[in-house]
């Protein structure tokens, strides 16, 4: 059996605002990440993807607070580690994080090589600049990035090149796990493909062992993820093998994400686009019943009030809906009216 590198158990994280609000942005999230795998996390804006990523990294700084649950990284529950130990032993080495929009946060006054040196010197005591240069050049070459990028300033690089550079810098210490938060969102389709190829290459070459890839575009995950978790309003609403979740979604929200897009290869001819109505709930309010029920085309009266737990179809497939799989599939068929009670 493959080694589990990251295990998240019933994790709950809360923003406590200066207006005395409690925003439960990550609510009872659990999953395992095995060596060799890429887990894709999809969900629209505000679903809690970045907060989950920060929580896994132990970045609990006000207004974000840990509430409950555990995050095991290589067997250590990092929620129990003091931040200095977390920083010394885990961050950057066991797990690295590329925050959303990181490519726009590169220090504009430093050449890329100096940014690589900053990362390396923090973790490899006494390493010389020449060694940094040698390691960086070798890594950039292996990843098909031109070496001369190292001598440039961030402003001199295109968006795609900047993102590839950020990925190369973040993984220079060969962390076991990489969390990439929306690494392709600001890029054109060609650059997206190149970035995805680079990320896959990192696993193939053994520079990293596993990855979490966050995006708001569920279909994009087909190109990279082995498994997918769909998040909505802080909760996981569906998880399973990438192909199953994309081509045969169970949860009405995942189904909505897939029916509201145009598949470029197939064009729009003959395809009915069904947009998910409404907007996600405000997480500062206590939410009863299914969080998606207000927007769900297939909601029943009881969905508004009944708490919905994850249901397991098999070991790898689960969903959070009171309806049964067959019932949902029937409702998704063309021409069928949404169920009413
Ligand atoms: P996006 O796709 O826009 O990046 P996301 O899925 O990453 O969205 P988060 O940024 O994790 O979502 O936000 C989850 C929830 O937490 C949202 O309701 C958001 O408004 C709230 N939130 C995020 N940051 C803060 C903060 N600093 N203070 C209070 N609430 C916050
Ligand atoms: Mg985000």
If one residue of 23, 99, 217, 218 were mutated to test the ligand 1 pocket, choosing by the most ligand atoms within 8 A of its CB, it would be 23
Nearest ligand to the CA atom of 216: 1
Kindly tell me if the per-residue pLDDT of 211 is higher than 70: yes
Residue 170 makes CB contacts below 8 A (sequence gap 6+) with 96, 97, 98, 102, 119, 178
What's the mean per-residue pLDDT of the chain? 92
What's the average model confidence in pLDDT over 177-196?
94
* Ligand 1 site, residue 144, Cβ cutoff 6 A: no
Summarised one tens digit per residue, pLDDT across range 26-55 is 999 999 999 999 999 999 999 999 999 999
Whether the per-residue pLDDT at 270 is higher than 60: the answer is: no
Q: Is the CB of 49 under 6 A from ligand 1?
A: yes
Q: Phi, psi (5° rounding) for residue 141?
A: -65, -45
Pick the more confident residue, 262 or 69.
69
Q: With cut-offs at 50, 70 and 90, classify the pLDDT of residue 56.
A: very high
Confidence of residue 229 (pLDDT cuts 50, 70, 90): very high
Distance CA 320, CA 331 (A): 16
Residue 214 to residue 208: CA distance in whole angstroms: 17
pLDDT over threshold 80, residue 1: no
Q: Are 74 and 26 in contact (CB under 8 A)?
A: no
Terminal alpha carbon distance of the chain: 45
- pLDDT the model gives residue 341: 33
Q: What's the rounded mean pLDDT across residues 198-226?
A: 96
Using the predicted structure, report yes or no on whether residue 181 has a pLDDT greater than 60: yes
Ligand lying closest to the C-alpha of residue 52: 1
pLDDT tens sequence across 136-150: 999 999 999 999 999
Q: Is 25 in the pocket of ligand 1 (CB under 6 A)?
A: yes
Q: The domain 4-94+175-332 is classified under which CATH number: 3.30.9.40, 3.40.50.300, 3.30.450.40, 3.40.50.800? A: 3.40.50.300
Residue 271 binned pLDDT confidence (cut-offs 50, 70, 90): low
Confidence of residue 268 (pLDDT cuts 50, 70, 90): very low
- Report whether residue 215 contacts ligand 1, using a CB cutoff of 6 Å: no
45 ligand 1 Cβ < 6 A: yes
Read off the pLDDT band of 335 (50, 70, 90): very low
- The separation between CA 319 and the C-alpha centre of its own chain, rounded to angstroms, equals 18
C-beta separation of 133 from 140 below 8 A: no
Mean local confidence (pLDDT), 54-72: 97
Number of Cβ within 10 Å of residue 191's Cβ equals 18
Tell me the mean pLDDT in the region 56-64: 96
Would you state the pLDDT for residue 277? 85
pLDDT at res. 286? 85
The domains of the chain are located at 4-94+175-332
DSSP 8-state symbol, 318: E
Percent of the chain at pLDDT above 90? 82
- Pocket of ligand 1, candidates 50, 56, 98, 212: which has the most ligand atoms within 8 Å of its Cβ, to mutate? 50
């Amino acid at each position: 059996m493959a080694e589990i590198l990251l295990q998240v158990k019933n994790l709950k994280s809360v923003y406590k605002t200066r207006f005395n609000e409690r925003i439960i942005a990550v609510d009872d999230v659990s999953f395992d990440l095995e060596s060799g795998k890429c887990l894709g996390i999809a969900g629209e804006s505000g679903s809690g993807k970045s907060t989950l990523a920060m929580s896994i990294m132990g970045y609990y700084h006000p207004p974000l607070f840990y509430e409950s649950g555990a995050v095991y990284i290589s067997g250590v529950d990092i929620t129990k580690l003091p931040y200095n130990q977390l920083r010394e032993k885990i961050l950057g080495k066991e797990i690295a994080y590329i925050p959303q929009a990181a490519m726009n946060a590169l220090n504009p006054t430093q050449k890329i090589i100096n940014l690589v040196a900053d990362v390396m010197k923090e973790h490899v005591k006494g390493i010389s600049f020449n060694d940094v240069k040698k390691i960086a050049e070798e890594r950039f070459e292996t990843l098909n990035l031109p070496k001369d990028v190292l001598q440039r300033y961030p402003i001199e690089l295109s968006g795609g090149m900047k993102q590839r550079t950020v990925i190369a810098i973040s993984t220079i210490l060969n962390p076991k796990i990489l969390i990439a938060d929306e690494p392709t969102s600001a890029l054109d389709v060609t650059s997206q493909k190149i970035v995805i190829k680079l990320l896959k290459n990192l696993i193939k070459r053994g520079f990293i062992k596993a990855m979490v890839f966050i995006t708001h575009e569920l279909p994009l995950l087909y190109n990279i993820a082995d498994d997918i978790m769909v998040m909505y309003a802080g909760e996981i609403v569906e998880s399973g093998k990438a192909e199953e979740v994309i081509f045969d979604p169970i949860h009405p929200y995942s189904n909505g994400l897939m029916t509201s897009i145009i598949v470029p290869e197939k064009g729009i001819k003959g395809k009915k686009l069904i947009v998910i109505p409404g907007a996600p709930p405000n997480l500062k309010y206590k939410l009863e019943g299914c969080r998606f029920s207000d927007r769900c085309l297939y909601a029943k009266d009881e969905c508004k009030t009944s708490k919905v737990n994850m249901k397991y179809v098999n070991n790898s497939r689960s969903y959070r809906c009171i309806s049964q799989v067959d019932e949902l599939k029937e409702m998704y068929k063309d021409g069928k009216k949404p169920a009413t009670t």
